[in-house]
Structure 1
Amino acid sequence: MKSQLITLFTFLITTYAFAQNASISGTIKDNNQNPIAGVNVFIKNSTKGTQSNSNGSFEIGNLTNGNYILSVSYLGFKTKEINFSLAKNQNLELETITLYEGNEILNEVVIEGERTNKFSRKQTAYVAKLPLKDIENTQVYSTITTELLESQVITNFDDALKNATGVEQLWASTGRGGDGAGYYSLRGFSVQPQLVNGLPGLTNGTINPANVERIEVLKGPSATLFGNAVSSYGGLINVVTKKPYVGTGGELSFTSGTYGLNQIIGDFNTALSKEDNLYFRINTAYTTEQSFQDAGFRKSFFVAPSLSYKVNNRLSFSLYAEITQAEQTNPMFLFLNRSAPTEASNLEELGYNNKLSFTSNDLTLKNPNQNYRIEMDYKLSDTWESQTLLSKSTTSTTGYYSYLFDYGILGNDTFSRFINKQNANTQTTDIQQNFIGDFKIASLRNRVVIGLDYFNATQTDNGTGYAFYGNITPEGGANGDNPFTPEVETDSYPLSTAGVDAVLASQPVGNNKSKYHIYSVYASDVLNITDQLSAMVGLRLDRFDNEGDLTTTEDDYDQTTLSPKFGLLYQPIADKLSVFANYQNGFTNVAPQLVGNPDEGPQTLKTFDPEQANQLEFGVKTNLFNNRLNVTASYYDIKVKDRVITDPASPFNKIQGGEVVSKGFEIEINANPIPGLNIRAGYSNNDSETTKSDNNEILNRRPLEAGPETLYNFWASYEFQTGKLDGFGIGAGFNGASESFAINYESTGEFILPSYTVVNASVFYQANKYRIGLKLNNALNEKYYKGWSTINPQMPRALLANISYTF
């Protein structure tokens, strides 16, 4: 009996082995017949799959005879499905599979495996509003990948942006209504993160990086494709969120650190219906953190559900939502006097005790925030696709906001506190219709996007007026003498809700509501003149309709603007080296102003053209050694013109004659010289100056929003690949800046924030299902500051511990 069982078992194993001996293989190329590596290839309704190698080839073995559907997908290309049949022991070799570029695939397959250059991403569908490799894009942008954030144990958005070349925080998120998100300096101009997945996505508080797939920082004026509502003359910041993928899995992560930091993150993805290609993903996080100062905290909870539904090979839908509940004490910046000399010209003279917060945990702001996005993609043909997008954002602020200002009246570097009760709300709606094409005309390849865009923003403010609430001195003194009353007062001002409410009871409550609309049409074409030479041409027609205060029509006005862009790119070595030049445009709508001598009769309303910013830039990009060395280096020159100033010939007239010039050099390097070692480095130098103005206070001086002249960042991470240390790794790096102006005016003189270099380090162990890491931020305990007419102390040394489990 035993021998019969062995014989039967051997027969079954042999039969199964022969039945599983069929296979399918092939080669995958793009539209230019270049092989594509790393393409996801899998058999639908099975667990069998692989990725193409560096030659674009793949093979899936151990298949039985039968009918199958092969799914071929790659981020940035349109998914292709191929029906095939296998006979017993058949080795089927397919003809070359050609993938056509399209929008980012909703159902991206996640396959574990080694990926070179984890700190670099070389293709995106957002920067040009159509799929374009970085090396063939005439615009410069920095990409901060999720792998880079993971290696640095990043828990907040500000630390994440330190990896973007040429970006410096001006001040942290205040949480106040209207502009409570953080401000950053980029190419000499201030910018806020206001774009999510290529569409408007506002916030009055900090952005939680737990749902971030990557961050894209576009450099230079970008109004042609994105308008002026969400961008600045220096560029824009686009947050790309995590999206559903084919499969089931997720991650749980916990991070704890100095100053009361605790953050727990959950990420789960599953199929709601495999047959219907309906996939769901949810990301959520809860974070609490205290301040290194004597008071201050921040806590937040967010949940981000997303859904993808692929109806068929032509039609797909996606839905994204992010709902945040946050509460914080607003950071107490020291606002320096902008119109009178400050007694101190640097921090040493000021005697600032940066461990003092000058607030209390009883005075907080709540920032509920919601972002929603719906997308429908329809494949019209092999060469044209329709993309319909709708996004809505709601951001609110309720609670107490205060600031400290040096009026220069009481002396001894006394800063007066003013406080109000916030009750503000901003809502935006954006609707876009894009037609994206990839076709040839007379053998010339065209990649085109033609779009319609409607944007609406409504702001409501029902906050109170600001009330005086005591004075402080930077070293810790306090008094109650109101600088705007003749008497010397000794009132006390307790930092409590009861004390503040009693003072604010006499303040008026606002009832303000304003609205504006933007109607736009735009088009952009990337034309391949030859295989190596391409040109990018774009144009936007923008109609701005300002309703202003809804209770009056006196501030209503309309403006129409044309915003062009142009770029040339030459690839001496295809897909490896490109030389580029670009012209990019940005603009700002300008409200009419009253002109005319009031002594000679009623003043009249004078209209103006939109203010313009034009950039000229040239540089090089590389993608060498099979994507192991990516370098972008460029020089740019931005000139802002048509700023409204007082007419030198008449003090009662206004003209458009103000100018600002910002120029500089940037270089960013992403390298993977050997397996396991990833390097990110960046350096920028910016020279900004107000060259024409009627305001002698700022003429021929560096604008405060320009930030430091020089910025640099470096991070390297190495993970052992073999041996007893397999899975262990270390990381180290630094970021820093030259000195910068907190104040730089003719009458006030200069207040200079010192230069700094902050060193960070980490150790980690990466196993199959889990990761353990330790991160030391500001390892040398550097005392440093940032500011924009303000003084904002930064975090001292802090230790973080993280454990993550993947399933």
Structure 2
Amino acid sequence: MKKYLLPILLLIGMQSAFAQQSKITGTVTNTDGSPIEFVNVALKEKNTGAVSEQNGQYIISNISPGRYTLICSFVGYQSAERKIQIKENENLNINFTLKDDALQLDEITVSYTQKNKFHKDSSFIVSKLPLKDIENPQVYNSIPKTILKEQVVTNMNDALKNATGVTRLWESTGRGGDGAEFYSMRGFSVQPTLVNGMPAINNAGLDPANVESIDIIKGPSGTLFGSPVISYGGMINITTKQPYESFGGSINYITGSNGLNRIAADVNSKITDQSFARVNMAYNKQNSFQDAGFSESLFIAPSFKFKPSDKLTFLVNTEFLSSESANAPMLFLNRNAELSYDNISDFEDAYTRSFTSNDLTIKNPSFGLQAQALYEISDNWTSQTVISRSNTKANGFYHYLWDLTDGENFARYISKRNSETNTTDIQQNFLGDFKIAGLRNRIVIGLDYYNSILRDNSSGYVQNGTVNIQTQEDTGVLTTAGTNAFLEENFAGINEATNEVMSAYISDVINITPSLSAMTSVRLDRFSGKPSIYSAEPIEEQYAVSPKFGLVYQILNEKLSVFGNYMNGFVNQAPQQVADADGSNPRLKSFDPENANQYEGGIKSNFFNNRLSATASYYHITVANRLMTDPENVNNSIQGGEVVSQGYEVSLTANPIAGLNLIAGYSNNDSEVTKDYETSGYLGLRPEEAGPSEVFNFWASYSIPSGTFKGVGVGFGGNGASEHLTLNRATTGTFVLPAYQVFNASLSYSTFQYDIILKANNITDQRYYSGWSTVTPQNLRNYSLSLNFKF
């Protein structure tokens, strides 16, 4: 804890230093009295200001005494100015009413901040270029921090329920290498592996305290991000909060069902005219809805911004997470024998049983650091240098239940995990925006070095009793001392997986006409090392080339576009020991990388000054070169397996009237193993990682914008999915997790300085399950109350 005190004390000291300066507050409305969001309110002489919130309110802090011109501007409205004089320790309240200006609807309003055009926001991260969503041929969804606040989100799973076509397969296990949560996207499993577009590995659940937005990047994106962090279905990126140029922040307390207690703080301060600091922190403790299990974590994220000149900016983001949890063991159906269960009703009596104890915990401390330098070489070129480091550990018990195929009993297998993963990524990007022969080019030329080291010193797996799923009788020893006695003489040895990837890539977006643009990208990857600790032999050297193409035609400029893309992703394959059919002639065999190719087309729209945005697309992904057993030689592996995943997605965000906000999404996926050897058990079937074929999400909220009940708000939404084939093999049979619909609601009251939100999740108390050859009960009805104070 001591290492976290210094940044906290520094910011508290900064708060004291600046708290006595003057500030300006106010509300921006249109002529009918409705508040306007995202309006720039700036002091002309200071080049500083604020942006109005959803309720139209703004605040500019840390103002020195003097005379100023206060400017209020927004696209589609006539700008307004106000001459003011502010005294020491004075708080001025200045309100603005802006008039519509149809003649300015297509003009660009310059913000009060001098933001680098290559600033690392969500749109930049997706393409590594400053492309608006409507001119980007790739599909992505961004979940902003305002939604997380409105929905009283305390974990990543609840946050990702706002993403189109995303469902959770596995909850966090905490074990090294793959302990974070698994989700399904476009028919393939994916884990959160990116922070600000850079690799960041974590063995546990992530805390949302430092989230500016969560970016769901769709499709196999190997061209710009490389093989270590991608999934064929897409990627999950966390864009973190960054320091801004005034003092401010918030303190938040959340309490609720299952012993939920959470306190979080966000403090930002100006240090000098060129340097700024921000700290986000959270302490979170919650029990399981089952009879045992808990999670407890302390998260602190100091970040710093330094601008020594107009051309050079340094950004440093750090995250420290200390977490401990007692996780219920995943309940595995037997993958190697005929199913002994045929209906989910066999598991319903054990819905609230965890089959663990709060003695069997695992600790997952993590650390992440990103240091970035942005230098404007000229008006047309910017250099971006980024260094990213992450460290995550697993220390404690991991256990699972395995079906013994007698229709009643599961064996508990337990291990004492002790592992550490370190990653390093260094990127150098040169970003250009220039014209050749009258055609605008936006280009990124990059070099990328990635290194990861996973060291595992865990015990082996030992059976610790059995569980009867019908009677819930458990014969295991669920104490730390008793379990340690089981494992005392069992050590799996020291295992290590080190891999190194060196890459070069280039991506160029050319505006062929003002309405038509084309993206052309390619990456060259050189991989060496072990893809995992389970690999028998390392790869000495393996090369991969990953192309990407895209076209966008704007039917209505910045309002409506059609797009198409071809995207590629790949996974390196480790050598394997093979032999002839009679077992003779053993040898090491190398393989080419497995690869995925996606074709996608669709439409994007953005109408009424960002009040209505929608995306609809159809995609087709083919994964080829998959390893499979040689049908003529069981001792040999060959490449030739294939999976096809195709479907369509529709997502919508809207603000049709003042105070009303809507988000919604629907996805339909058809996935099939199209090539494999006939006796594999997979051919012609839907892969288990594909998740449900249909998924929907929606959330609607309304806050009264004016009048006696101004600030009172309500919200309602939900998620649903079709049935999920959690185990689906010809050799075992198929086990179905039923379709579900879960609904949530909220009641809130907000003012300029504080918010009160009451949230109810799963209000119908629906029993539903997730899984990936597993059966995992999900949370029942629960409540939370959020109290938020802003300063």
Shift of 1:103: 4.8
Q: 1:568 aligns with which of 551, 572, 578?
A: 551
In the TM superposition, residue 413 of structure 1 has moved relative to its aligned partner by 2.4
Letter in 1 for 2:257: T
1:62 equivalent to 2:83? Answer: yes
1:313-462 mapped onto 2 (5 Å cutoff): 313-408=310-405, 411-462=406-457
1:207 Cα deviation after fit: 0.6
Change (3 A) 1:698 1:337: same
**What pairs up with 1:507-526 in 2 under 5 angstroms?**
507-526=490-509
1:776 is matched with which residue? 760
Q: For 1:132, what is the secondary structure of its paired residue? A: coil
In the alignment, the residues of structure 2 paired with residue 163 and residue 143 of structure 1 have an alpha-carbon distance, to the nearest angstrom, of 9
The 1:547/1:774 distance shift into structure 2, 3 A limit, reads closer
Cα drift, residue 100 of structure 1:
9.9
Pairing partner for 1:686 from 669, 679, 693: 669
Where do 1:98-247 residues align within 5 Å?
Answer: 102-103=116-117, 105=119, 124-247=123-246
1:210 and 1:199 mapped to 2: Cα distance?
19
Q: Verify the 8 A CA contact 1:434 1:451 in the aligned structure 2.
A: yes
For residue 281 of structure 1, report the CA deviation from its aligned partner.
Answer: 0.1
| Equivalent residue number for residue 478 of structure 2 | 495
Whichever residue aligns with residue 126 of structure 2, its letter is V
The one-letter code matched in structure 2 to 1:214 is: S
Contact 1:330-1:364 within 8 A present in 2 as well: yes
Indicate the residue corresponding to 1:249 in structure 2.
248
- 1:478 corresponds to which of 473, 477, 481: 473
- The SS at the match of 1:127 is helix
Q: Give the direction of change, closer, same or farther, for the CA distance of 1:579–1:381 in structure 2 (3 Å limit).
A: same
What root-mean-square deviation, in Å, do the aligned CA atoms of Structure 1 and Structure 2 show?
Answer: 2.3
Q: Are 1:797 and 2:781 matched, yes or no?
A: yes
Distance 2:372 2:249 in 1: 24
Amino acid at match of 1:213: E
Cα 1:763–1:213 change in 2 (3 A) is same
Contact 2:536 / 2:576 at 8 angstroms: preserved in 1? no
Structure 2: distance between partners of 1:325 and 1:635 = 41
TM-fit CA distance, 1:723: 1.0
Within 2, Cα distance between the matches of 1:448 and 1:53? Answer: 30
**SS of aligned partner of 2:280:** strand
- What amino acid maps onto 1:304 in structure 2? A
Q: Does the 8 A contact of 1:153 with 1:773 survive in 2?
A: yes
* Deviation, structure 1 residue 339: 1.2
Equivalent position of 2:712 in the other structure? 728
Cα distance in 1 between the residues matched to 2:531 and 2:515: 49
- The answer for the alignment partner of 1:28 in structure 2 is none
Partner in structure 2 of residue 644 of structure 1:
627
1:244–1:769 Cα change, 3 Å: same
SS in 1 for 2:551: strand
1:674 corresponding residue in structure 2: 657
Give the stretch that moved more between structures: 133-142 or 338-347: 338-347
* Whole-angstrom distance in 1 between the partners of 2:531 and 2:360: 31
Q: Secondary structure at the match of 2:232?
A: coil
Q: Given the superposition, is the C-alpha separation of residues 378 and 59 from structure 1 closer, same or farther in structure 2, using an over 3 Å criterion?
A: farther
1:563 is displaced (CA, Å) by 0.2
Provide TM-score, normalisation by structure 1. Answer: 0.85
Look up the SS of the partner of 1:426 in the other structure: strand
Range 311-320 or range 51-60, more displaced: 51-60
For 2:740, the equivalent position in structure 1 comes to 756
* Alignment deviations for residues 532-580 of structure 1 (CA, whole Å, 9 cap, x no partner): 0000111000000115799999534321000000001100100000000
Displacement, 1:605?
Answer: 2.4
2:691 alignment counterpart:
707
Equivalent of 1:743 in 720, 727, 730: 727
Conserved 8 A contact 2:118-2:382: no
Quote the Cα distance in structure 1 between the aligned partners of 2:479 and 2:495.
Answer: 27
Q: Do the aligned residues in 2 keep the contact of 1:557 with 1:592 (CA within 8 Å)?
A: no
Report if the CA contact (8 A) 2:530-2:537 is conserved. no
Residue aligning to 2:46 = 44
Shift of 1:708: 0.3
> For residue 52 of structure 2, what is the aligned residue in structure 1?
none
Determine the C-alpha separation between the residues in 2 that align with 1:53 and 1:338: 59
The correspondence of residues 607-686 of structure 1 with structure 2, limited to 5 A, is 607-686=590-669
| Matched-pair contact (CA < 8 Å) for 1:37–1:55 | no
Q: List gaps (5 residues or longer) in structure 2.
A: 1-36, 49-62, 86-107
Change (3 A) 1:305 1:519: same
Identity of aligned residues (%): 48
Shift of the 721–477 alpha-carbon distance from structure 1 to 2, 3 Å rule, reads closer
What is the deviation of 1:151?
1.3
Distance 2:635 2:299 in 1: 52
Q: How big is the shift at 1:609?
A: 1.4
What is the CA–CA distance in structure 1 between the aligned matches of 2:596 and 2:564, rounded to whole Å? 17
How many residues align? The count is: 712
Judging changes above 3 Å, is the alpha-carbon distance between structure 1 residues 153 and 100 closer, same or farther for their aligned structure 2 residues? Answer: closer
* Alpha-carbon distance, 1:778 to partner: 0.3
d(CA) in 2 for partners of 1:97, 1:765? 33
How big is each residue's C-alpha offset from its partner over 1:420-440, in whole Å with a ceiling of 9 and x where there is no partner? 111110000000000011111
Contact 2:144–2:212 (CA<8 Å) still a contact in 1? yes
SS at match of 1:124: helix
TM-score between both structures, scaled by the size of structure 2: 0.87
Q: 1:180-224 deviations in whole A, cap 9, x for unaligned?
A: 100000000000001001101111111111111100000010000
The correspondence for 2:703, drawn from 710, 719, 722, is 719
2:306 is aligned to 309
Which AA in structure 2 matches 1:494? V
Deviation of the 1:149 alpha carbon: 1.1
User: Cα 1:421–1:648, aligned 2, differ >3 Å: closer, same or farther?
Assistant: closer
Matched, 1:282 2:279: yes
The question of whether the paired residues in 2 share the 8 Å contact of 1:549 and 1:555 is answered with no
CA contact 1:221–1:232 (8 Å) conserved in 2:
yes
State whether structure 2 residue 271 is matched by structure 1 residue 272.
Answer: yes
SS in 2 for 1:135: helix
Q: Equivalents in 2 of 1:551, 1:626: separation in Å?
A: 52
Q: Which amino acid aligns with 2:692?
A: P
1 CA distance for matches of 2:291 and 2:634? 50
State how far apart, in whole Å, the 2-side matches of 1:291 and 1:719 are. 32
From 518, 525, 528, the counterpart of 1:535: 518
Give secondary structure in 2 for the equivalent of 1:699: coil
Q: Is the 8 A contact 1:102 1:131 kept in 2?
A: no
What residue number does 1:490 align with?
Answer: none
Deviations along 1:720-752, one digit per CA (max 9) or x if unpaired, are 011111010000011110010111111211110
1:129 to partner: Cα distance: 0.7
Q: Deviations for 1:84-103, whole angstroms, at most 9, x for unmatched residues?
A: xxxxxxxxxxx997999845
CA distance in 2, matches of 1:160, 1:722: 29
Shift of the 552–169 alpha-carbon distance from structure 1 to 2, 3 Å rule, reads closer
Secondary structure at the aligned position of 2:127 is classed as coil
Distance 1:404 1:561, change over 3 A: same
